[in-house]
């Protein structure tokens, strides 16, 4: 018997369909969601996204229902992170507990806020648009300060 699929909250480049394909992932289902009592932070040397618990906060992301194989691929590529459970609400109101990535601060070269590169931010915006995230959430993402084009 195959293991049950896992809900994964894409909060960074894994909101972008091209990035998902480039990693060799094949979600069984993807949909926009709102993550509650967490914030998305841009952190570390390159300003990459992470989730961090913060009561009363929320942000929009993309939920993916994935296989254990896909989760193994993610775990292998998301070095420097560990997974945490995040409560998410699909836009139909259904509640999902998903796994998402948070930095292991002990492994960071720079433990501080760093704005994302313009390129990375555009990946996130394109993915949010593709998966139908809330228009206000997309506009908020567009207003995120960034550090210029960058290569990451």
Q: Residue 14 domain-assigned?
A: yes
The pLDDT tens digits of the residues spanning 10-46 come to 999 999 999 999 999 999 999 999 999 999 999 888 8
**DSSP percent split of the chain into helix, strand, coil, nearest 5:** 30, 40, 35
User: CB-based contacts of 32: which residues, under 8 Å, 6+ apart?
Assistant: 60, 61, 62, 63, 90, 91, 128, 131, 132, 133, 134
- Pick the closest to residue 90 from 133, 148, 137 (CA basis): 133
Please state whether beta strands 29-43 and 6-10 pair in parallel, antiparallel, or not at all (unpaired).
Answer: unpaired
- pLDDT tens digits, 47-98: 899 999 999 999 999 999 999 999 999 999 998 899 999 999 999 999 999 9
**Domain encompassing residue 57:** 6-142
Cβ neighbours, 10 Å, residue 131: 20
Asked if 108 and 44 count as a contact pair (C-beta separation under 8 A), the reply is yes
* Residue 102 within any structural domain of the chain: yes
- Which structure tokens are listed for 7? 């809900």
In a domain, 98, yes or no: yes
Residue 151 forms part of a structural domain: no
What is the DSSP secondary structure assignment for residue 46, as one 8-state letter? T
Whether residue 149 is contained in a domain is answered as: no
Q: Is residue 150 part of a domain?
A: no
Q: Is residue 60 part of a domain?
A: yes
- pTM as predicted: 0.92
CATH number of the domain to which 112 belongs: 3.10.490.10
Minimal CA–CA distance to 23: which of 70, 66, 64, 59? 70
- Report how many domains make up the chain: 1
Is there a domain that residue 152 lies in? no
């Amino acid at each position: 018997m195959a293991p049950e699929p896992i809900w994964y909250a894409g909060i960074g480049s894994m909101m972008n369909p091209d990035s998902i394909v480039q990693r060799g992932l094949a979600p069984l289902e993807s949909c926009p969601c709102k993550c509650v009592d967490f914030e998305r932070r841009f952190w570390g040397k390159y300003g990459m996204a992470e989730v961090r618990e913060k009561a009363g906060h929320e942000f929009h992301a993309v939920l993916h229902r994935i296989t254990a194989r896909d989760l193994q691929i993610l775990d292998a590529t998301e070095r420097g992170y560990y997974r945490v459970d995040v409560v998410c609400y699909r836009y139909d109101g259904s509640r999902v507990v998903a796994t998402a990535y948070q930095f292991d601060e002990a492994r960071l070269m720079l433990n501080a806020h760093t704005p994302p590169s313009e390129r990375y931010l555009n990946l996130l915006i394109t993915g949010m648009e593709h998966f139908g995230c809330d228009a206000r959430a997309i506009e908020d993402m567009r207003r995120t300060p960034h550090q210029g084009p960058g290569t990451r």
